Chain A
């Protein structure tokens, strides 16, 4: 058994109510590592050529919550959620910072794999004794904060009853869904710790489709052994030092960016991306810091960077609301994208989104889409039940509830921006796809491509196997293999990774697992293997939609409109550059000119069993 791994995974069949421990071979673990990579492999092995027919919201989908060998050993513990995505019909490695990951490992598990569907709402409890299925009927319908409160108390009391001599049980780790996930809102997130989310991919809806309200983990064992403990200790100190000395995120997280991404790089979504520049000086870190943050330098398990802040509104209309900083993405999406430039309102919407279990990016992307349709007179007060004007926080709160409950037009908006655009287009007899800002079904993160001043540009989203996911953009088919693809599979936090010299991180990986890991191998072999597998699953897609090679490897129409304002006014994404760089990207990864993996590449990466399906996509 390689080191760094606890040694087993918990497999729960909710239909048969069967639980068992399973393992994977050393060679599989070495090739796919954990998290995003391992999830894609497990999904392909289990679903196989039935992939196009499997409904992501049906009982044949698999929900996975996986750690990686570096989780909780390297700073910044996270859990990676995956499955067939209800949005892209491919897979996403969707991560969230949470003690659930470290508790799982200390309970002796590297991950939880859930199949089938429960008859009634349940949650899964994982402890050193194994896994059990418990009733969640009493919390089905609960908002996030209530869910945590109840499960915390219930599980701690139960465990105290079973082992009264332990003393005080500290709170367990919990991942859960809110009403949005329960009602199969396609963009719903897997939530944890009130305001953390595994947002991209819509895996909250996958949990909801299985009647799975939460997974709770409490472990009292030791962390798995590492291959070279003295080396790991030394390297940990080095990593720690780099993060303390060089991290930009310790003071304000990404919360300074609400202003900067608008004013400086002109790439912030404003009113459904109709603009990307603003100069609202109070909308950034300093004001949030002085007026709202109650807890600073607070972190999750084994995290040095400690970028997390807690915002609490202490007076006024929204007194009592609690959310995280908000981070930049939610300052943008729960703020400027809805025409909201008031920090109070932004924090409130963010707290509402968290409690309902919406994804803070994907959910408000659809909300902004709806608001633009309202602006254009395509959606009316009758469709919504209220007026939806830009900047009206109360209206957007109502909209968040409407979608979470699938009421009125909320039922269609709950399908995610792309599918809602298809349905509304048919319903209203007008093409609204030009207003949908998504790539391959996944709504785009809050970094635009038109100004060319942010890190996102031309093929960042267009060529990515995870669509609009801004945390895992396409760069050159080489560099990103040792960043996002790696961190999502090792399952560690990017913000404990960015300032650390790459060689140090990969030495750490080797010292933990004993695998002959190098950054070069990840860039040429491991990363491409994982991304090529994801690309294949994405191509297979189905059952409701399948992306067209080349045509759908593109930016949303809005990203080709010239910017309306600001210092980069008139600029837009360069279509020629997109096409040119896409070709180069495909070539670098060994895919054909339409982005279909070639037979040689599949052989080389050990993915030969994908050839029969991939052949059907080639011209």
Chain B
């Protein structure tokens, strides 16, 4: 199944801005972030850059809903889902 990713803020340089990822059916947010980390050559388990996946400081939204309101990193993704990864960012 295909899931589209949008990344904002200071994770863009590490993960790129937009991409479509192929995942196995039943793949979770956790699996997705592992795949992203792998492709980006990141080594720290369960982290994207300095942010813990599923932690308080990184907002991960599936179709506009924060994963904390779903099943956290265990949230199951479907074909066509849109995932937004949003580090704490700013206005100026």
- The verdict on A479 contacting chain B, using a C-beta distance below 8 Å, is yes
Q: How far apart are the CA atoms of A478 and B59 in the complex, in Å? A: 9
List residues of chain B with CB within 8 A of the CB of A261: 92
B17, B63, B69: the one within 8 Å of A453 (CB): B17
Binds A, one of B20-28, B39-47, B71-79, B82-90: B82-90
Cβ of A246 to closest chain B Cβ, rounded Å:
9
- The verdict on A289 contacting chain B, using a C-beta distance below 8 Å, is no
A479 near B66 with CB under 8 A, answer: yes
Cβ of B52 to closest chain A Cβ, rounded Å:
10
- The verdict on B61 contacting chain A, using a C-beta distance below 8 Å, is yes
Cβ of A402 to closest chain B Cβ, rounded Å:
28
- The verdict on A193 contacting chain B, using a C-beta distance below 8 Å, is no
Given known pairs A328-B92, A519-B56, the reply for A581 and B6 (CB within 8 Å) is no
Given known pairs A475-B59, A503-B56, the reply for A580 and B64 (CB within 8 Å) is yes
- The verdict on A447 contacting chain B, using a C-beta distance below 8 Å, is yes
Instruction: Report the interface size for chain A: residues with CB under 8 A from the other chain.
Output: 37
Q: How far apart are the CA atoms of A457 and B9 in the complex, in Å? A: 12
Near B by CB (< 8 A), chain A positions 459-506 give 459, 470-471, 473, 475-476, 478-479, 482-483, 494-495, 498, 501-503
Q: Digit string of A442-460 for contact with B (CB within 8 Å is 1, else 0)?
A: 0001110000111101010
Q: How far apart are the CA atoms of A447 and B66 in the complex, in Å? A: 23
B65 near A479 with CB under 8 A, answer: no
Cβ of A288 to closest chain B Cβ, rounded Å:
14
List residues of chain B with CB within 8 A of the CB of A585: 64
Near B by CB (< 8 A), chain A positions 552-597 give 580-581, 584-585, 588
A445 near B66 with CB under 8 A, answer: no
B92 near A475 with CB under 8 A, answer: no
Name the residue among A445, A479, A585, A588 with the largest chain B CB count within 10 angstroms.
A479
List residues of chain B with CB within 8 A of the CB of A584: 63-65
B64 near A479 with CB under 8 A, answer: no
List residues of chain A with CB within 8 A of the CB of B8: 454-455, 457
List residues of chain A with CB within 8 A of the CB of B69: 476, 478, 588
- The verdict on B38 contacting chain A, using a C-beta distance below 8 Å, is no
- The verdict on B81 contacting chain A, using a C-beta distance below 8 Å, is no
List residues of chain B with CB within 8 A of the CB of A455: 8-9, 86, 89-91
Closest A residue to B58 by CB, please name it: A479
Q: How far apart are the CA atoms of A471 and B91 in the complex, in Å? A: 5
- The verdict on A344 contacting chain B, using a C-beta distance below 8 Å, is no
Q: How far apart are the CA atoms of A585 and B18 in the complex, in Å? A: 22
- The verdict on A257 contacting chain B, using a C-beta distance below 8 Å, is yes
List residues of chain A with CB within 8 A of the CB of B92: 254, 257, 261, 327-329, 446-447
List residues of chain A with CB within 8 A of the CB of B64: 459, 476, 580-581, 584-585, 588
Given known pairs A478-B68, A588-B65, the reply for A452 and B6 (CB within 8 Å) is yes
Q: How far apart are the CA atoms of A555 and B25 in the complex, in Å? A: 36
Closest A residue to B50 by CB, please name it: A246
List residues of chain B with CB within 8 A of the CB of A445: 91
Q: How far apart are the CA atoms of A494 and B69 in the complex, in Å? A: 25
Cβ of A164 to closest chain B Cβ, rounded Å:
45
Given known pairs A478-B66, A478-B68, A588-B69, the reply for A494 and B90 (CB within 8 Å) is yes
B57 near A502 with CB under 8 A, answer: yes
B86 near A479 with CB under 8 A, answer: yes
List residues of chain A with CB within 8 A of the CB of B12: 453
List residues of chain B with CB within 8 A of the CB of A471: 91
Given known pairs A479-B59, A501-B57, A503-B56, the reply for A470 and B91 (CB within 8 Å) is yes
Q: Digit string of A324-362 for contact with B (CB within 8 Å is 1, else 0)?
A: 000111000000000000000000000000000000000
Q: How far apart are the CA atoms of A494 and B92 in the complex, in Å? A: 10
A475 near B86 with CB under 8 A, answer: yes
List residues of chain B with CB within 8 A of the CB of A482: 56
Cβ of A517 to closest chain B Cβ, rounded Å:
14
Given known pairs A455-B86, A479-B86, A584-B63, the reply for A501 and B56 (CB within 8 Å) is yes
A476 near B59 with CB under 8 A, answer: yes
Q: How far apart are the CA atoms of A328 and B91 in the complex, in Å? A: 9
List residues of chain A with CB within 8 A of the CB of B65: 476, 584, 588
Q: How far apart are the CA atoms of A584 and B66 in the complex, in Å? A: 10
B88 near A447 with CB under 8 A, answer: no
Q: A494-B91, A581-B64 are in contact. List 7 more A-B contacts (CB 8 A).
A: A471-B91, A475-B86, A476-B61, A478-B69, A483-B88, A523-B68, A584-B63
Residues of A within 8 A of B (CB): 254, 257, 261, 327-329, 445-447, 452-455, 457, 459, 470-471, 473, 475-476, 478-479, 482-483, 494-495, 498, 501-503, 519, 523, 580-581, 584-585, 588
In order of increasing CB-CB distance, the 9 nearest A-B pairs are: A328-B92, A254-B92, A584-B64, A470-B91, A455-B89, A471-B91, A581-B64, A502-B56, A479-B59
20 A-B pairs whose Cβ atoms sit less than 8 Å apart in the complex: A254-B90, A329-B92, A447-B92, A455-B86, A455-B89, A457-B6, A459-B64, A475-B61, A476-B61, A478-B66, A478-B68, A478-B69, A482-B56, A501-B57, A523-B68, A581-B63, A581-B64, A585-B64, A588-B64, A588-B69
Residues of B within 8 A of A (CB): 6, 8-9, 12, 17-18, 56-57, 59, 61, 63-66, 68-69, 86, 88-92
